Structure 1
Amino acid sequence: MISDQNFIIELIGYFASFMVLISFLMRNIRKLRLINTVGCVAFVIYGVLLNWSLPIIITNTAIAGINMYYLFIRKES
């Protein structure tokens, strides 16, 4: 039987996956990057809750950082 804590962790993982997937349906690059960043942050939380899964945390932190760079520092043309 799955515990309440494990259920919540799994929900966070599914939410993260859903957000990343949905982001690729966006035509507007800013909207894509914003939604993708939400998914990446959720994946980082998910990685932490999975006893600090570094591959998940590092990859999604890097992707979120790249998204933030293009959203707020370098304006895309």
Structure 2
Amino acid sequence: MNPETAAYIGYSASLFIVLSFILKDVRKIRIVNMIGCICFVIYGIFNGMLWPVIIPNGLICFIQIYYLLSDKIKR
């Protein structure tokens, strides 16, 4: 992948993470944060397998999915 494209993915990830702090609805926060985490995982993969970026963001993504699905079951 082009290094410039990878950088844009990283910037997008940062933007989504910051946006998730602005929102008030927990469901929207989880979705936007999950998108940011997915972007960070992609960024970490395309920048030489940056495990300190990939592992925590992958885990956070799975945590967001878990809570989104468990919240849906409760309704």
- Pairing 1:21–2:40 present: no
Identity %: 37
- Give the alignment's Cα RMSD to 1 decimal: 1.7
Residue 30 of structure 1: CA displacement? Answer: 0.2
TM-score by length of 2: 0.91
Q: Write the letter of the residue equivalent to 1:66.
A: I
Q: Tell me how far apart the structure 2 counterparts of residues 57 and 68 of structure 1 sit (CA, whole Å).
A: 16
- Partner SS for 1:45: helix
Residue 75 of structure 1: CA displacement? Answer: 1.4
Residue in 2 aligned with 1:67?
A: 64
State the number of aligned residues.
73
Runs of 4+ in 1 over 4 A off after TM superposition: none
* Cα displacement string for residues 25-64 of structure 1 (whole angstroms, at most 9, x for unaligned residues): 1100000000000000000000000110001000000100
Residue in 1 aligned with 2:7?
A: 10
What are structure 1's unaligned runs of at least 5 residues?
none
Structure with higher helix content: 2
What are structure 2's unaligned runs of at least 5 residues?
none
TM-score by length of 1: 0.89
